[in-house]
């Protein structure tokens, strides 16, 4: 049976992940983890998490996956020694020096996806080096993973199956460093790829570039614009005169002050105005495609991006989702299904783990995954779903928005049965009112049952009609027997 591996950004998310069926969690400490802005765990919290996990026969893996400097290794060795005492089940590392230190400490080594492992020979190298598991690169297809699984025995394979995908190659990004001065490879990524950007076609240098055989340019010392070739004239409507819907080749109108034209007796192409040059990309053509500029919306400094025969490299990937391909992942030899999201809420962790737990169990039981489970994943924040590189799918970029959207809102955590008979104790997370209908997220038979909000009481017994205080403790009347770490949500009204 494949392991379901969930993210744990803090102790509450760790408890939530195990409640909804995760076999293991991965977490980061306050140091040496690639999620420096998550809540993260100090050593005491890691110890509490490991103790709880082992009490319910689960596992905890600790990420030490930064790319350290030489001066970091003294502290890293001390940290690994503490993790060994605590009883962490494995350490996730990407740097060879850290990997070596992990093995010498006696801890199990999981090679991070940041190591960019893409072939069976490298997997066998890590096996012989002493690693117990390799987290394969996200750029691999299912076919390639199957080839690795068939050739590299004696070592476990882990793959991401769900969550946000870094736009950079195996997460090796310098965009955060460049734009914000925060090192993504040392846990400080500001997710600059999720910012809103303006993209414009670049004007480049006025004038035709060396070797340029197509396109259109503007020369400062000329008044008349031209296209380089007749093909460009037809494609860009060069020569379209005022009042003429499909201008002929070389047509000119003395009254025109903008646009692009081609004259038969000229070799050099021009735009009429500099404004047209910038708007149309005059002067911006290069041999293998167009040149563009990109800047954060409202910013002044534009960075160059390029379009070539393979496409345009734009930011903001969709979220990975492989819930409909559980059988193919198992057949490929994947031992651990990893869910991304240490920075995300208990609601995200609970809903995604719940869906994949049910999907895996259902497939192992009758060879099928219920369609409703994919729909369930739309109820938590996402940027649209893709199968990424697994199935050679091309639809990986969300061009509409970098903001995650959800069909449902996270309303409350369930803390257990209330002291008052016939109530449950909940902790408010988003506003709701008497008369609202709440849906239950639970790993048991209460999943998808609903509660119409009736009588509610505060801690001191006062009647609550409008629950609008964040993290307010509320006693809600219901005949459902819900458990601690169950979650309540409601459909977002459009």
Could you read off the pLDDT of 150-203 as tens digits, one per residue?
999 999 999 999 998 876 655 556 666 656 666 655 556 666 665 665 555 444
Instruction: Answer whether residue 131 shows pLDDT above 80.
Output: yes
Considering the chain, what percentage of its residues have pLDDT values greater than 70? 66
Instruction: Answer whether residue 75 shows pLDDT above 50.
Output: yes
Q: Which residue has the higher pLDDT, 81 or 399?
A: 81
The least confident of 18-27, 291-300, 381-390, 417-426 is 291-300
The least confident of 295-304, 404-413, 431-440, 461-470 is 295-304
Instruction: Indicate the pLDDT class of residue 30, thresholds 50, 70 and 90.
Output: confident
Average pLDDT over residues 40-47: 93
Domains delineated in the chain: 3-165+317-386 (3.20.20.70), 198-302 (no CATH), 408-491 (2.40.30.10)
Lookup result for tokens 């500001």: 190
């Amino acid at each position: 049976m494949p392991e379901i591996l969930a993210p744990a950004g803090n102790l509450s998310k760790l408890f939530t992940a195990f409640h909804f069926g995760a076999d293991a969690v991965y977490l980061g400490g306050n140091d040496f983890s690639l999620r420096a802005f998550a809540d993260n765990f100090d050593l005491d919290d890691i110890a509490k998490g490991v103790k709880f996990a082992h009490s319910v026969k689960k596992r905890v893996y600790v990420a030490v996956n930064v790319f350290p400097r030489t001066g970091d290794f003294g502290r890293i060795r001390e940290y690994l020694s503490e993790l060994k005492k605590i009883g962490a089940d494995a350490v996730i590392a990407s740097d060879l020096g850290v990997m070596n230190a992990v093995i010498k400490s006696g801890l199990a080594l999981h090679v991070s996806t940041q190591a960019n492992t893409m072939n069976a020979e490298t997997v066998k190298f890590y096996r012989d080096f002493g690693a117990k598991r390799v987290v394969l690169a996200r750029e691999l297809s299912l076919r390639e993973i199957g080839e690795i699984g068939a050739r590299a025995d004696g070592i476990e394979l882990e793959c991401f199956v769900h969550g946000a995908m870094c736009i950079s190659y195996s997460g090796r990004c310098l965009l955060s460093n460049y734009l914000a001065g925060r090192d993504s490879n040392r846990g400080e990524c500001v997710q600059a790829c999720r910012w809103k950007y303006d993209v414009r076609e670049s004007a480049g240098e006025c004038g035709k570039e060396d070797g340029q055989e197509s396109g259109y340019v503007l020369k400062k010392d000329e008044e008349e614009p031209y296209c380089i070739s007749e093909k460009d004239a037809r494609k860009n409507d060069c020569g379209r005169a005022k009042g003429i819907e499909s201008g002929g080749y070389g047509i000119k109108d003395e009254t025109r002050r903008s646009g692009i034209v081609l004259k038969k007796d000229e070799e050099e192409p021009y735009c009429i105005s500099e404004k047209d040059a910038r708007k149309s990309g005059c002067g911006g053509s290069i041999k293998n495609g167009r040149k563009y500029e990109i800047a954060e919306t409202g910013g002044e400094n534009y960075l160059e991006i390029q379009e070539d025969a393979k496409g345009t490299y734009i930011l903001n990937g969709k979220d990975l989702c492989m819930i409909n391909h559980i059988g193919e992942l198992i057949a490929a030899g994947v031992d651990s299904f990893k869910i991304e999201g240490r920075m995300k809420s208990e609601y995200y962790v609970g809903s995604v783990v719940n869906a994949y737990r049910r999907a895996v169990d259902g497939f192992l039981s009758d060879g099928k995954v219920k369609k409703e489970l994919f729909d369930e994943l739309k109820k938590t924040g996402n940027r649209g779903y893709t199968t990424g590189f697994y199935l050679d799918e091309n639809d990986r970029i969300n061009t509409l928005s970098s903001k995650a959207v959800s069909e449902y809102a996270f309303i409350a955590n369930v803390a257990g049965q209330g002291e008052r008979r016939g109530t449950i104790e909940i902790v408010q997370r988003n506003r709701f009112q008497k008369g609202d209908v709440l849906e239950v997220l639970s790993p048991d038979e209460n999943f998808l049952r609903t509660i119409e909000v009736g009588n509610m009481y505060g801690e001191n017994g006062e009647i609550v009609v409008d629950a609008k205080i964040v993290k307010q403790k509320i006693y809600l009347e219901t005949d459902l027997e819900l458990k601690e770490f169950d979650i309540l949500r409601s459909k977002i009204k459009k």
